Amino acid sequence: MAAVQLTDSSVDHLRSRVWIAMMFMVLAMCLLTARLWYLQLIRSESFQEMSLNNRVRLVHLPSSRGRILDSAGRVLAENRPSFTFSVIPGELESPQEMIRICSPILGLTPETMRGLIERSSSIPRFMSFPIKKNMTLDELSLIRSHAGDLKGAVVETRPYRGYPMGETLCHVIGTVGEITAQELSKTSRMGYRTGDLLGKTGIERYYESFLKGEEGWEQIEIDAKGRQLGELGRKPPKGGHDIVLTVDASFQQYVEELFIHRAGSVVVVDPDTGQILAMVSKPGYDLNLFSPSISEREWKKLNSDPLHPLENRSVRGLYPPGSTFKVITTLAALDEHIIKPERTFTCKGYFEIAGIVYRCWNHYGHGKMNLKRAVIESCDVYFYETGLRLGGDRIARWSSLFGLGKPTGIELPQELPGLVPTMSWKQRTYGEPLKDGETVSIAIGQGYLLSTPVQLAMLTAALANGGKLLKPTIVGQIRGADGTVVVDHAPVVRWEIPVNPEYMALLRSALRDAVYDGKGTGKKCRIPGLNVRAKTGTSQVISAKQRTDEGDQIPYHERPHALFIAYVDDKPKKIAVVVIVEHGGGGGATAAPIARKVICRYYGIPDPGDGKD
């Protein structure tokens, strides 16, 4: 075989090809070296984290929500453990197999469970998403028996709210519920996650930031099947703060049991501190219906009830104050020098303005009345005359000085301000000023005038303490999980009402005689050994001309509201009480006995009216 002769040109061509190949090899080695350098030095932490995620599960540890206690330390709201079946989207390998195994155990239809699993894709891949809350022990044991076949599933312990006293203080304590998507978008930076509980009403809502606590976490090492191997790290959760109310639960329960009527409110307050001693809104509901979640049937039942049991009437119920408002008309007229105490008007049982007749509650007339007698016997005609001379704007100014027409600032959400009509308000709203007939109606607490029970309670407290309008408080202290007092609420004086002490003393005397005088309208609140000072009120729902029946035949919704304000100010322990019975008729007949019993219980003395009401 002949040897191949390489020419110089062939050698040069071969040499160039070898150099090109070597250049490619060097370049490839450089690229590989650069890649290795990038992966090992620049991205090492990132890949280490990804590696850990393949063998480490981050489990969120829910915080223990703070308790709500009464003034004696009794538990009103607490935490109870429950188990939640959740999925972790990043670890979920076979959703269909999980649905097949778990849906019959958890009592969920395959369609429902499939929908929940699909929703879990909207959260970060390694966060848990709740599928079934409040599992039974049987469900829990069956799920755990299939643990090896359920990769991506986890059973979490999540507390839910329990209310040992059921309906007691339901409107004050309030409810919690699962956070909604809208709420989550607003609070995501505060550490809330899908499935967390959030205060919805009452103290649970108002003090959510204190009650919530701080979530913890733990890192758990898992194997390829998702089974737990051990704990790698842990940050314990921090419990929420305890809220201590100013209300004694036993006293509250007594007042609630007294209120046997369909609907209304009772507010009891310490006039020196503004502390709420009892707050009743009827009808109520069992707080445990909402925990861990209320059924659709129960929700519809509560929501469709014509008496609106979910409404906190103490801070949201709007009522004309009726004749209880005459205390403001009295002080306003005296301080504005509209009348003198000895000034008399003759009550014939009616008062006429521009051809319109305004009746006194006593259709036969009270005869000749001075100011004190008018308060004692609650003569409407006297206050028609007085209100007409005062005028709407001066009545409104004094109403505002006593806290009407604006929220009191109590620590309960969605408090309503009520309404104090003025000339400008009437002009803006109806395109005309207040008429004289409307002004005289306002002077006796009727017409456009609206107030809440808590406003009337603070008005009554101001009468008892000599003219200081206090901010009401229903929370005495806020305590840390270790019992340390974080907040200790002191009395807050919103302002002092600029009323002449002489006029206040005159009214004080008249209010006592309204109870103990033979013709006083508040005689059903007499308590031997105590100086109870009180004023009755009856606020019309519709005018007498519109009624379809008379007496006991008047339909419930057409009957007037019964009101009563009372206080005791000459004892070391003072008390102010407001009672409103919706459609209860006369305040002296219906509301006064409730106030009397409340006062007797507060002072620990026998009720002189037992069996007589």
**Do 254 and 238 lie in a common domain?**
no
CATH of the domain at 63: 3.90.1310.10
For residues 418 and 497, membership in a common domain is answered with yes
Question: CA-CA distance, 171 to 202, in Å (whole number)?
Answer: 6
For position 3, what pLDDT does the model report? 55
Instruction: Identify the weakest region by mean pLDDT among 32-36, 65-69, 464-468.
Output: 32-36
Domain boundary among 245, 266, 301: 245
- Distances from the Cα of 524 to the Cα of 273, 299, 532, 594, 613, angstroms: 28, 40, 11, 9, 8
How much is the pLDDT for 597? 97
pLDDT in the model for residue 31: 81
Say what the pLDDT of residue 135 is: 84
Would you state the pLDDT for residue 201? 95
Could you give the maximum distance between any two Cα atoms of the chain, in Å? 154
State which of 245, 260, 295 marks the end of a domain.
245
Determine the average pLDDT of the residues in 393-405: 97
Residue 337 near residue 468, CB atoms below 8 Å: no
Cα dist. 227→41, 102, 231, 261 in Å?
Answer: 32, 17, 12, 59
pLDDT of residue 93 exceeding 90:
no
Q: Same structural domain for residues 276 and 147?
A: no
Residue 104 exposure: Cα atoms within 13 Å on the Cβ side: 4
pLDDT of the residue at 188: 61
DSSP for 366-432, please give it: -EEE-HHHHHHHT-HHHHHHHHHHH-HHHHHHHHHHTTTTS----SSTT----B---HHHHHHHHSS
Cα dihedral sign for 130, 131, 135, 139? Answer: negative
Per-residue confidence (pLDDT) for residue 46, from 0 to 100: 59
Contacts of 350 (CB under 8 A, 6+ apart): 357, 358, 359, 360, 363, 365, 381
The more confident residue out of 502 and 90 is: 502
For residue 29, is it left (φ>0), alpha (ψ between -120 and 50) or beta?
alpha
CB 344 within 8 A of CB 369: yes
pLDDT at 151: 80
Least confident span in 245-259, 471-485, 550-564: 550-564
The reported pLDDT for the residue numbered 540 is 87
Average pLDDT, integer, range 476-503 = 94
Of residues 76 and 14, which shows the higher confidence score?
76
Give the pLDDT of residue 402: 98
What is the pLDDT at residue 394?
97
Q: Averaged over 445-461, what is the pLDDT?
A: 97
Range of lowest pLDDT (224-233, 422-431, 474-483): 224-233
pLDDT band at 237 (very low <50, low <70, confident <90, very high): confident
Q: How far is the C-alpha of 336 from the C-alpha of 345, rounded, in Å?
A: 18
Angle at which helices 453-465 and 326-335 cross, to 10°: 50
Rounded CA gap, 565 and 383, in Å? 18
pLDDT at 549 over 60: no
Question: Percent of the chain scored above 70 by pLDDT?
Answer: 90
- DSSP symbols for 326-351: HHHHHHHHHHTTS--TT--EEE-SEE
Residues 106 and 137 in one domain: yes
Are 253 and 230 found together in one domain? no
CA distance linking residue 227 with residue 57, whole number of Å: 10
pLDDT value at residue 34: 76
Which pLDDT band holds residue 550 (cuts at 50, 70, 90)? Answer: low
How far apart are alpha carbons 505 and 405 in whole angstroms?
A: 25
- List the domain range (segments joined by +) for residue 374: 249-285+309-603
pLDDT at 88 over 60: yes
527 and 505 share one domain: yes
Give me the pLDDT at residue 450, please: 98
50 pLDDT above the threshold of 60: no
Q: Is 425 part of a structural domain of the chain?
A: yes
**At a CB cut-off of 8 Å and minimum separation 6, what does 413 contact?**
201, 202, 205, 206
- Kindly state the average pLDDT of the residues 470-499: 95
138: left (phi over 0), alpha (psi -120 to 50) or beta: alpha
- Give the mean pLDDT of 523-549: 83
CA distance 371 to 352: 20
Residue 544: is its pLDDT beyond 70? no
Both tokens of residue 571? 């004892």
pLDDT in the model for residue 44: 64
247, 316, 319: which is closest to 279 by C-alpha? 247
Q: For residue 138, is pLDDT > 90?
A: no
Judge contact between 67 and 79, C-beta under 8 A: yes
pLDDT digits (tens, 9 = 90+) for 155-194: 877 778 899 999 999 999 999 988 888 888 776 667 777 7
424 is catalytic: no
Domain boundary residue, one of 193, 222, 245: 245
In a domain, 15, yes or no: no
CA distances from 60 to 218, 508, 509, 552 (A): 7, 61, 64, 62
pLDDT at 29 exceeding the cut of 90: no
SS3 188: helix
- Report if residue 555 sits inside a domain: yes
The band of 6, judged by pLDDT with boundaries at 50, 70 and 90, is low
Contacts of 244 (CB under 8 A, 6+ apart): 69, 70, 71, 73, 475, 476, 477, 478, 479
* pLDDT exceeds 70 at position 229: no
Residue 324 and residue 195 share a domain: no
Q: Binning pLDDT at 50, 70 and 90, where does residue 123 land?
A: confident
Q: Are residues 430 and 532 in the same domain?
A: yes
Within 13 Å and on the Cβ side, how many CA atoms surround 208? 21
Domain-located, residue 516: yes
User: Is 435 in the same domain as 476?
Assistant: yes
| pLDDT per residue as tens digits for the range 316-330 | 999 999 999 999 999
- More confident: 383 or 29: 383
Mean pLDDT, the chain, integer: 88
Number of CB atoms found within 10 A of residue 539's CB? 24
Q: Identify whether residues 452 and 332 lie together within a single domain.
A: yes
pTM for the predicted model, two decimal places:
0.83
Q: Taking the alpha carbons of 439, 441, 445, 451 in that order, is the dihedral positive or negative?
A: negative
Instruction: Please report where in the chains the tokens 């007229």 appear, as a residue.
Output: 333
Give per-residue pLDDT as tens, 265-324.
Answer: 999 999 999 999 999 999 999 999 998 778 889 999 999 999 999 999 999 999 999 999
- Cβ(395)–Cβ(449) under 8 Å? no
CA-based nearest residue to 477, from 170, 69, 64: 69
- Please check whether residues 394 and 531 belong to one and the same domain: yes
Q: Active site residue: 86, 291, 314, 323, which one?
A: 323
pLDDT at res. 194:
72
Query: Has residue 22 been placed in a domain?
Result: no
Of 44-53, 190-199, 351-360, highest mean pLDDT: 351-360
Is 162 a domain residue? yes
315 and 372, same domain (yes or no): yes
Task: Report the alpha-carbon distance of residue 498 to residue 375 in Å, rounded.
Answer: 21
Q: Is residue 28 part of a domain?
A: no
Considering its fold, how many domains does the chain have in total?
A: 2
d(CA 327, CA 402): 10
- State the amino acid at position 563 in one-letter form: L
Distance between terminal CA atoms of the chain?
138
Instruction: Give the span between the Cα atoms of 85 and 470, in whole angstroms.
Output: 49
Lowest mean pLDDT among 351-360, 409-418, 552-561, 595-604: 552-561
Shortest CA distance to 181 belongs to which of 115, 113, 119? 119
Query: How many Å apart are CA 589 and CA 595, to the nearest integer?
Result: 11
The per-residue pLDDT for 119 is: 86
Q: How confident is the model at residue 422 (pLDDT cuts 50, 70, 90)?
A: very high
H or E element, residue 245? strand 242-245
How high is the pLDDT of residue 407?
Answer: 97
Q: Would you state the pLDDT for residue 58?
A: 67
Q: Are the CB atoms for 273 and 457 separated by under 8 Å?
A: no
- Beta-sheet pairing, 264-269 with 242-245: unpaired
Neighbours of 132 (CB within 10 A): 22
Q: What is the amino acid identity at position 353?
A: I
Quickly state the pLDDT bin for 227 (edges 50, 70, 90). low
Residue 326 and residue 521 in contact, taking contact as beta carbons nearer than 8 Å: no
Look at residue 458 and tell me whether its pLDDT is greater than 90.
yes
Q: State the CATH number of the domain containing residue 327.
A: 3.40.710.10
